[in-house]
Structure 1
Amino acid sequence: MILIADSGSTKTAWCLVEDGRIKQQIKTKGINPFFQSEEEIQEEIGKGLIPYLPTHRMGEVHFYGAGCAFPDKLAIIHRVITSHFEVTREVEVNTDMLAAARSLCGHLPGIACILGTGSNSCHYDGRDIVENVSPLGFILGDEGSGAVLGRVLVGNILKNQLPTEMKNEFLNQYGLSASEIIDKVYRHPFPNRFLASLSPFLAQHIDVPEIRRLVLESFKDFLKRNVMQYDYNQYPVHFTGSVAFYYQDILRQATQETEIELGNISQSPMEGLVKYHQTVRNN
């Protein structure tokens, strides 16, 4: 059996594969060693995943996650996995960016992008990531992500840049006051998750010109500040993630206005990852 994990800041999708077929899928909370301790990750996997699996004996475990870009963070995930599973062949821990590239491009070169709670991008040569513009997180970067869309939305609402009736509707819908929003952003853990949880308000009002423009400009910022640093004229640009999937009509507009060739758009990289690892095993 092969266990594949695709972990973002908000949730982790686990897929158990047997003989090339998906046997079981489980979702747990997001796992990010950059923000969570080894003990917290141990607890999440121990309580949220292990009790629901039919076996702890795996041929391979492939964990792709946000925050898995540094050796010490990779080591944390590797230790947690090997403490919970008996793995006979391989334990691989790598970035969620490589998961997106393998899922979207397979064994062909291209530019792969993530637009979810956070955002990221890379130039992939069909095997490895050869260029990566640092996403820098939702404060300094993460253009086009759910967290940044939520951040800009909240900023515009609290600074009265949107109609008063829309501001009141937002605060009533989420049951929040201005002081509560500020407290959640500056004092509570995982402010990126909180901000991303507010971004669906944009989808509900996407026909409002100010809202559509907000999303469009954020996507164009992502393309200009990230994708255009690669040799983007030579390759299709693919996207995965909930934001890319649910706002794909605006994403298409953004790529057209920046003269970028749009490739595949998927909601999740998991289906492509299953295909990728099956072809690797067969070769």
Structure 2
Amino acid sequence: MILIADGGSTKADWIALDTNKKELFRVRTLGLNPAVVAKDELTNRIVNMFQLINIKDEVTEIHFYGAGCGTPKPIAILKDVMQSIFINAEINIAEDMLAAVYAASGDKEALVCILGTGSNSCYYDGNKMHINVASLGYTLMDEASGNYFGKQLIRDYYYDKMPKRIAEEFEKQYDLEIDQVKFNLYRQPNPNMYLATFAKFMFDFKEDKYIKKTIRKGFREFFKYRILPYKINNDIPVFFIGSIAYYFRDILEKVAKKYDLEVTDVIQRPIDNLIEYHRNHIN
């Protein structure tokens, strides 16, 4: 049995295939980002999914693509966790950016971007990924991501920069008591996921002038730091992966046009495309 998974910081989608690459089932666990989630918690998030534990001895291959899996140390942590559970499996771990490439362009040249809980981008030449800047995560980077926008909303609320009507709605949906916010940011695990929960607020008010302005600002920053430095020709396809890009595609396309670029496609969940890639390319 083969397991293929695409994992962000918030969630991870798993699909099980038999030896003929026929889908058997799919499940979703909490995110398995080894750069921000403790080793014990990574284990818990897998073993608490009974569909995975039920077949742990039958799994012979795992192809896991995940946030936080771009450097050797977190890869080693996650691989150790998986090897202790799936004892008969050959485990392959790569960063989520590679899954985005496979899901978007397959083996063709493209610029591929992720706008989910976190954000990233790469140029794929048809054989190899080229990432111009290493990602330092939600504290310093992650422009236009869920945690970026969550941070912007909280700051605007406390700085009294949020329109009154929007602020009142924001108060209804979230516990904004200052000690609670600080507790979640500084005393709880995964503050990036906590921040990203606030970004969901924007989906309900996407036509509001303030929300549109906030989204545009974030997208412009993403283009400035994560797309324009590649200096690509405007005939190279540009793909986006993730819910932020998916739900605000109209704004994203308008920002792209200002830089003489066109959004080729936006994929909310790459797992289905990823499965097709594996069926066609991996023996």
TM-score, normalised via structure 1 length: 0.92
Indicate the residue corresponding to 2:262 in structure 1. 261
Name the amino acid aligned to 1:42: T
Indicate the residue corresponding to 2:48 in structure 1. 47
Alpha carbons 1:114, 1:241 under 8 Å: kept: yes
Q: 1:244-278, CA deviations, whole angstroms, 9 ceiling, x for partnerless residues?
A: 11111111111112211212211111111101111
Displacement of 1:53 in angstroms is: 4.2
3-state DSSP of counterpart to 1:120: strand
Change (3 A) 1:124 1:39: same
Distance 1:24 1:127 in 2: 31
Indicate the residue corresponding to 2:101 in structure 1. 101
Indicate the residue corresponding to 1:250 in structure 2. 251
Indicate the residue corresponding to 1:181 in structure 2. 181
Change (3 A) 1:197 1:254: same
3-state DSSP of counterpart to 1:195: helix
Alignment of 1:1-283 (within 5 A): 1-18=1-18, 19-48=20-49, 53-54=54-55, 56-87=57-88, 90-233=90-233, 234-281=235-282
Name the amino acid aligned to 2:243: S
3-state DSSP of counterpart to 2:223: helix
3-state DSSP of counterpart to 1:134: coil
Displacement of 1:142 in angstroms is: 0.5
3-state DSSP of counterpart to 2:92: strand
3-state DSSP of counterpart to 1:232: coil
Distance 1:72 1:131 in 2: 19
Aligned length: 281
Name the amino acid aligned to 2:3: L
Q: 1:210-237, CA deviations, whole angstroms, 9 ceiling, x for partnerless residues?
A: 2101101101110111111113225211
TM-score, normalised via structure 2 length: 0.92
Structure 1 runs not aligned, ≥5 long = none
Q: Which range moves more in the overlay, 154-163 or 78-87?
A: 78-87
Distance 2:190 2:64 in 1: 21
Distance 1:188 1:37 in 2: 12
Distance 2:67 2:191 in 1: 15
Distance 1:118 1:256 in 2: 23
Q: 1:12-54, CA deviations, whole angstroms, 9 ceiling, x for partnerless residues?
A: 1111123233221111111111122322222221222555644
Aligned-residue identity in percent: 35
Q: Which range moves more in the overlay, 52-61 or 108-117?
A: 52-61
Distance 1:49 1:106 in 2: 32
Distance 2:248 2:43 in 1: 35
Displacement of 1:96 in angstroms is: 0.7
Structure with the largest fraction of strand: 1
Alpha carbons 2:253, 2:262 under 8 Å: kept: no
Alpha carbons 1:232, 1:260 under 8 Å: kept: no
Alpha carbons 2:64, 2:94 under 8 Å: kept: yes
Change (3 A) 1:57 1:275: same
Q: 1:162-188, CA deviations, whole angstroms, 9 ceiling, x for partnerless residues?
A: 222321221122233234223322332
Alpha carbons 1:238, 1:264 under 8 Å: kept: yes
Distance 2:201 2:181 in 1: 15
Name the amino acid aligned to 1:101: V
RMSD of aligned Cα (Å):
1.9
Displacement of 1:58 in angstroms is: 2.4
Alpha carbons 2:113, 2:122 under 8 Å: kept: yes
Alpha carbons 2:9, 2:193 under 8 Å: kept: yes
Name the amino acid aligned to 1:10: T
